Copies of this chain bind each other. A is one copy, B any other.
């Protein structure tokens, strides 16, 4: 008889424990969907501050906003962690044109982030290639002094658009250096996007130490196609590119950190974050205003539900993911120096789209845990709980004792907006954005409850 009592108690306890968690997660979703503020916060960030490249004044204003917002929500402490950031500036002039049959054509073009400028316009013939390898196959003398045009599209056949981005990324990251190595005067690329439109998409490039940096810009997909067609008509056409970008001295900005102090394990940390900086066009709405505001919302939800975590929750608004990951590196370095134990970090940097689940960089044990927790997310239509990419900012925290999670969202539209003038508040849907915050808060809660 006693045996049965113990068994029943165990069953009841197991059930009630899991029920308690299910109910709290329901409370999280109810709070987010009834009283959520992350969408209004995103509106403020996009419309009152706008884009916020690291090193810029608007990035400094965004830091102030982040600090004030978390203080306003009653976080236990809010502070700035100083981060040294570069100051890349686009410059006043950004001009690209060519003539076809006597008519001037002005493609929509933007300098790549980090590009050098030139005093005078660079006007030269264009050599079009589909890949870096194709460029390498050319004799140097065929390239020397010309403008290299990498016309490589993201692969539309990949269902995960992040993979398609990864597959074409090399032309932006390495294209300009490789073009310079062959003696080119400048470099243009087709924008990394799956959309067929007239938005040009910037993003970081970097120059190898052994080459002479040359100006580099991206054309919209429509303009890249038009240029390719024009080159078929007239392979001798000359394109003129004039960028006035420059890199100033580094300055100190910072990660904005808000804490809810842990009740049982105050010296053990769970990080939830996104990056506060954005590129200097558009409004940085999906990249990564949504992640930043969702992260703050996690703390707001906990406050609203009177949930004080057992571990210390740090909401981190990282500074300068886009052009060097200074915020992420600084945060991880500091954690190491202070011997801070991080049990988990969660990043949202895939846009504010309908959440699908979480991907994990961690151990097999972490993965088994995540798969076990998947059942809590079933009522909210999350289904993706697998190993995979987490996030750039939290990446440097990686260790066997720290599980890194990335919020996985529907990726189909992301690259239509990414790094372009089209990444604006209007392209974020309130429910999709808010559901992501609720999913993140739920995962933080589970980690906080289930781990010591």
Contact = CB atoms under 8 A, between A and B. Distances in A.
Nearest to A410: B354
A381 interface: yes
A209 interface: no
Contacts of A435: 159, 412
B383 A412 contact: no
Contacts of A379: 159
A196 B430 CA distance: 10
Contacts of A195: 430
B156 A33 contact: yes
B413 A156 contact: no
A30 interface: yes
Contacts of A416: 429
Interface in A365-404: 379-381, 383
A290 to B, nearest CB: 14
B33 A380 contact: no
A61 interface: no
Question: Oligomeric state, in number of copies?
Answer: 2
Contacts of A156: 33-34, 431
A190 to B, nearest CB: 17
10 contacts: A29-B157, A30-B157, A34-B156, A156-B431, A159-B380, A160-B381, A194-B431, A356-B381, A412-B431, A412-B435
B157 A33 contact: yes
Contacts of A95: none
A159 to B, nearest CB: 5
A432 B432 CA distance: 15
Interface of A: 29-30, 33-34, 156-157, 159-161, 194-196, 354, 356, 379-381, 383, 410, 412-413, 416, 429-432, 435
A34 B156 CA distance: 7
A412 B433 CA distance: 10
Nearest to A194: B431
Contact of A157 (B34, B410, B412): B34
A33 B429 CA distance: 25
Contact of A429 (B157, B354, B380, B412): B412
Contacts of A29: 157, 159
A187 to B, nearest CB: 28
Nearest to A161: B431
A190 B121 CA distance: 58
A435 B29 CA distance: 29
A157 B410 CA distance: 20
A429 B156 CA distance: 14
Contacts of A160: 381
A381 B156 CA distance: 15
A30 B157 CA distance: 6
A28 to B, nearest CB: 12
Given A34-B157, A435-B159, A429 B413 contact: yes
A264 B361 CA distance: 50
A202 to B, nearest CB: 22
A160 B354 CA distance: 12
**Most central of A157, A161, A356, A412 by chain B CB within 10 Å:** A412
A29 B158 CA distance: 10
A123 B115 CA distance: 66
Contacts of A429: 412-413, 416
